[in-house]
Each structure stands twice: as structure tokens, then as C-alpha cells.
């Protein structure tokens, strides 16, 4: 389960529209907590860090890449903010807001993966997913807009 403010949700949508027809990407900072005797991780998004999609020019329309160097800087920034990295966001230009096989192959369990679908330069859908611990399947994650 992920909680995100309306303002941050709108910022993700705007990022998708800004970078259309390429994918945008960024990092979700916030807090992790356990709920229901540890049965579910709850994420509360407190801020975003938009990052440059480092994939090659000809592939950015359907792939995103956050480099290890960018991740290191994000970890340091999260620590500075007193927050955790709780997940990532990206856009799917002219495709549904569901993870691709590429997304699954490059994802890690526990994190939230928020995807906004952008159709003809308008963000139309926003969903979140969490990867299973065996890395075989993404499960839809309930989003609470606050």
C-alpha cells in the first residue's frame, strides 16, 4: 500500500507529459512502515526526485534507466532528508500503466513502482506495483491519494 499526496501525484503526471514521447523517471522518497502485524509494508511518499532517463536516445520512448551513480546520489539525498527510498516512478508513453517485461526484469522487491500512462501527451492513468520476492510477478499496489 502506498500513500501519496495529490500534489506529488500531479507532479508525476506532469513529468510524464513533459518528457513525452519519451519515458520520464524518478525516485520516491518517504517512509516505510509495517501494518497488520508485519503482513504488509506501507509506504508514505514525502517527496520526489526527478532524474534524467539515462537510456540511449533511440530507446527512451519505451525504456528508462537510472544509473548506479544516480542511485548513490539519491541514497545520500534520502539520508540528508531523513527519508528512505520507497520506490520509483516512470511513464509509459502511448501504453498502459502496467509494468512491461523489461520493468519486471530490472525491478527489485519491496519498492513501489508507480507508472503513469501518457496518451498523446496527456497523463491518463496512474498505477503502482510491487514485485514479488521471487521477482516473477508484479502485484498491483493500492494507491491512496491524500
Instruction: Report the predicted TM-score, pTM, of the whole model to 2 decimal places.
Output: 0.95
Q: Which three cell numbers stand for residue 28?
A: 520516491
Q: Is the pLDDT of residue 135 over 70?
A: yes
CATH, residue 57: 3.40.140.10
The answer to whether 77 touches 47, Cβ cutoff 8 Å, is no
Q: How confident is the model at residue 73 (pLDDT cuts 50, 70, 90)?
A: very high
Q: What is the mean pLDDT of residues 85-98?
A: 98
Query: Which structural domain, as residue segments, surrounds residue 13?
Result: 2-145
* Cβ-based neighbours of 142, under 8 Å, separated by 6 or more: 1, 2, 128
Q: What is the pLDDT of residue 40?
A: 75
Q: Into how many domains does the chain fold?
A: 1
Can you give the pLDDT at residue 34? 75
The Cα-based distances of 31 to 108, 125, 134 in angstroms read 17, 24, 24
Whole-number pLDDT of residue 142: 95
pLDDT score of 95: 97
The tens digit of pLDDT for each residue in 5-61 reads: 999 999 999 999 999 999 999 999 999 987 655 567 899 999 999 999 999 989 999
Instruction: Look at residue 65 and tell me whether its pLDDT is greater than 80.
Output: yes
CA–CA distance, 19 with 138 (Å, rounded to integer): 25
Q: Which residues pair with 146 in a beta bridge?
A: none
Backbone torsions φ then ψ of 107, nearest 5 degrees:
-95, 165
**pLDDT tens track for 101-119:** 999 999 999 999 999 999 9
Across 120-132, average pLDDT? 97
Task: Please tell me the distance from the alpha carbon of residue 91 to that of residue 115, in angstroms, as a whole number.
Answer: 5
- Are 31 and 3 within 8 A, CB to CB? no
How many residues would you count in the chain? 146
Amino acid at each position: 500500500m502506498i500513500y501519496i499526496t495529490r500534489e506529488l501525484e500531479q507532479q508525476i503526471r506532469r513529468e510524464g507529459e513533459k518528457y513525452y514521447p519519451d519515458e520520464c523517471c524518478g525516485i520516491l522518497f518517504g517512509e516505510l512502515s509495517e501494518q497488520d502485524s508485519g503482513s504488509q509494508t506501507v509506504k508514505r511518499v514525502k517527496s520526489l526526485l526527478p532524474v534524467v532517463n539515462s537510456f540511449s536516445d533511440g530507446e527512451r520512448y519505451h525504456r528508462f534507466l537510472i544509473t548506479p551513480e544516480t542511485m548513490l546520489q539519491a541514497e545520500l539525498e534520502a539520508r540528508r532528508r531523513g527519508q528512505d527510498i520507497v520506490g520509483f516512478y516512470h511513464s509509459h508513453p502511448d501504453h498502459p500503466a502496467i509494468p512491461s517485461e523489461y520493468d519486471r526484469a530490472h525491478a527489485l522487491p519491496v519498492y513501489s513502482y508507480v507508472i503513469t500512462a501518457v496518451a498523446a501527451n496527456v497523463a491518463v492513468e496512474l498505477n503502482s506495483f510491487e514485485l514479488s520476492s521471487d521477482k516473477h510477478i508484479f502485484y498491483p499496489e493500492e494507491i491512496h491519494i491524500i
